[in-house]
Structure 1
Amino acid sequence: MTIPQVASRDDVQVAARLFRGLAEPTRLALLTALRDGERTVSELMSAVGASQSGVSGHLACLRDCGLVTSRPGPGRSVWYRLASPRLQALLRAAEELLADGGHPVTLCAEQGRRPR
């Protein structure tokens, strides 16, 4: 029997940052709110029911984790979006994994439609 090689410490730390971004309910709610396109902080506050400072703090974490990017808008506004379309696939995979365990949830843009 061959023992599989363990990922390098650096690789594990990068992956841990990704999962840190997904590990908090408000951050996960922000990601799902961004699944259909760009949003401002004000729009995200309404979508997830959190304060401006809370949303801004979580967005900073998500940016550090590489899950969201931003661009300046008109005036002082900033537009946030998912950093990669692969996040949709990750949300769908999470739905399927949770459903396998008896916990059906809807996280992806298809609103409950399961991939075939």
Structure 2
Amino acid sequence: MAMTTESAGPDHRAELGAAAALFHGLADPTRLAVVRRLAGGEARIVDLTAQLGLAQSTVSAHVACLRDCGLVQGRPEARQMFYSLTRPELLDLLLAGEALLAATGSKVSLCPNYGTATMGDARTEAPGE
């Protein structure tokens, strides 16, 4: 999917919907923390739980969400599952997001619809809770 200025018309709603779904899959502080951690290499749920300081059920649910979105994959080894990012482009997306946040300063945080004030504290519950 190539998102350009020409692809904003009604014929491209499916592409825009897919892009919105991608960003929605990343639109949770816990999932972003998992992605950031996995950017450093594969990890098991127990590793993520210890490093993020969250409940095992919470981490498992968020990893499952990322897996369902096609952003994370599991590699079984003996009786353990090691998770990693599926695509290196995800790192580029995170870096671009961080650069955009640095450029916009507090404007994103102050957004009345999606800013941090409307989200309350960083959510740590599992998807669907």
TM-score, with structure 1 as normaliser: 0.78
Identity over the aligned pairs, expressed in percent? 46
Matches of 1:19 and 1:4, distance apart in 2: 17
User: Residue in 2 aligned with 1:93?
Assistant: 96
The CA deviation at 1:66 is: 1.3
Matches of 1:96 and 1:65, distance apart in 2: 24
After superposition, where does 1:42-57 map in structure 2 within 5 Å? Answer: 42-57=46-61
> Does the C-alpha gap of structure 1 residues 88 and 4 become closer, same or farther in structure 2, counting only changes over 3 Å?
closer
> Does the C-alpha gap of structure 1 residues 50 and 92 become closer, same or farther in structure 2, counting only changes over 3 Å?
same
Matched, 1:73 2:77: yes
> Does the C-alpha gap of structure 1 residues 94 and 73 become closer, same or farther in structure 2, counting only changes over 3 Å?
same
Matches of 2:42 and 2:90, distance apart in 1: 14
Whether the 8 Å CA contact 1:29–1:48 is kept in 2: the answer is: yes
Matches of 2:7 and 2:74, distance apart in 1: 42
CA RMSD of aligned residues (A): 2.0
The CA deviation at 1:7 is: 5.2
User: Residue in 2 aligned with 1:37?
Assistant: 41
> Does the C-alpha gap of structure 1 residues 95 and 53 become closer, same or farther in structure 2, counting only changes over 3 Å?
same
Matches of 2:63 and 2:33, distance apart in 1: 11
Whether the 8 Å CA contact 1:21–1:28 is kept in 2: the answer is: no
Matches of 1:26 and 1:37, distance apart in 2: 17
Query: How many residues align structurally?
Result: 101
TM-score, with structure 2 as normaliser: 0.71
Question: Any stretches of 5+ residues in structure 2 without a counterpart?
Answer: 1-5, 107-129
